[in-house]
Amino acid sequence: MKKINYLFLFGIFIFAFVLRVLFLPKNILTFGYDQARDVIISQSILKGDLKIQGPPASTPGLYHGVFYYYLLAPAYLLGNGNPVAAVYWISFLNSLAVFIIFYLGYLMTKKAWVGILAAFFFAISFESAQYATWLSNPTIGVWTVPLIYLGLWLWIKEKRNYAPIIAAVGLGLSIQSEIFLAYHLVPLVIWLWISRKNITKNQVLTFTLSLLAVLSTMILTEIKFGFKGISGIKALLVAQEPNLAYAKSVGDYLLLYLNQIGRIFAFNSYPGNIGWGGGAVIALALYSLIKKDRIGAFLATWLFAHIWVVTVGGVSTPFLMVGIGPAVSLMIAYYLSKFPAKQGQALPDKSKVAVAAVILVLVFGNLSMIFKENTKGATLFAIQKDMLLSKELAVIDYSYQEAGGNEFSINTLTSPLYINIVWSYLYKWYGFPKYGYLPSFHGRDQVGQIDSLDQSAKPKETSFLILEPMAGIPSQYLDMTLGEEDVKTKPVSEKSFGELRVQKRSLR
């Protein structure tokens, strides 16, 4: 491969990284309950409290892998607990996926420019840029899932001896990041079956042992905690709707699936119009299967892999399709390479114009969406949209400034309810070093929480009520919290930081 191609590829990597961290200097990142929990656990690992259990899944009894905690730990060590440092680290890893995508595109077509184009499409992908600044365990699937399919292609087409290990590591780390990504085992098995004449028992054994090694902490977790995952799997297999008359039918799941893949495909092609972007990629994938195009069909099974678990994830869990976006980049680059041209010759002028037009449209669609949405944090995934670090730190500064150097206490209305971990962490990490003291907490008992401020039996003379954005908080709890506060304190003033509100209060 020519040196110029390496330069192009490195330039794409730098561009991808810069695009992902563009708004971090302004502390534009979503920081909620999950993020605060993860930083505290990662810091406990750094102190020698090693973990084998990862974050809980949405299904009771199921847990993701612990790999994410260990991945974050170096960033929090070097950044002294700063979440921005962790996002720089995750964005760096996210950007490295351009090399995986390039290599896979190059192997498939034997054309360096196709791999470079696919890598470029990934670099500008709106969805991938959103994942890069979202501190949550599924985000690492952006680069671990492509690793599965790189290993699989190297295995079935290039016949590399080390390929089963790459595929196993990719699948294992993907399951560690998001347990439901085990669904990628299905297309992997399908392609191994199709290529079974060239697959040896030793290769399958190598793959199996490597996968078990990567998943060893999850297996140990099951053993240690009494195989609670079995109850979680059982819950997934049993209908959740108590009244079967209202249970979803096949058509409901088909519509849900089409809506899901349409959105994800659009967020990686043309996010400016979900119908155009999603419909175009679905059409390419179906065309590949109908025409039995080997490369297109391989990518199509990757694109459609989520169909095996569509019944367990609705629109509230878009991250179940993490790692499918890179397949969109590869699919578009692959079909652009098939524009009419004579064998062995470059594209004619008309085809070049068409390819350039498509590229310009995709660039415009993705960059305009990135500059619009990434200034607001991880809007694709965050339930509480205004839980941005920039606004949270402004809340903390406001409380200290209004307290005028005097002691004060806080109460909070949070999601999840009555768990004060976000504000405890931020006051300790940011407030204490800057102002030299901490507030106490006069809200509900924080016993059992992994981190908390000192509990105060009653509010201080000056106190603050921090009201988080109401998304995810049942509305009745706002009246309840205000009523409880009004018994002990009276409001003096209120200030809003977007949807974050802070009431300054004094004792009655």
pLDDT digits (tens, 9 = 90+) for 326-356: 999 999 999 998 876 554 455 556 677 888 8
Task: Report pLDDT for 312.
Answer: 66
The DSSP bridge partners found for residue 99 are: none
Task: Report pLDDT for 246.
Answer: 47
pLDDT digits (tens, 9 = 90+) for 435-481: 999 999 999 988 888 889 999 989 999 999 999 999 989 999 999 99
Considering the chain, what is the average pLDDT of its residues? 90
Please, which pLDDT band fits residue 390 given cuts at 50, 70 and 90? very high
With beta carbons less than 8 A apart as the criterion, state whether 303 and 328 touch: yes
pLDDT digits (tens, 9 = 90+) for 265-299: 999 999 988 888 888 899 998 899 998 889 999 99
d(CA 233, CA 252): 22
Higher local confidence (pLDDT), 226 or 49: 49
Higher local confidence (pLDDT), 5 or 138: 138
Q: Is the peptide bond before 164 cis (omega within 30 degrees of 0)?
A: no
Task: Report pLDDT for 244.
Answer: 44
Phi, psi of 33 (to 5 degrees): -60, -50
Please, which pLDDT band fits residue 382 given cuts at 50, 70 and 90? confident
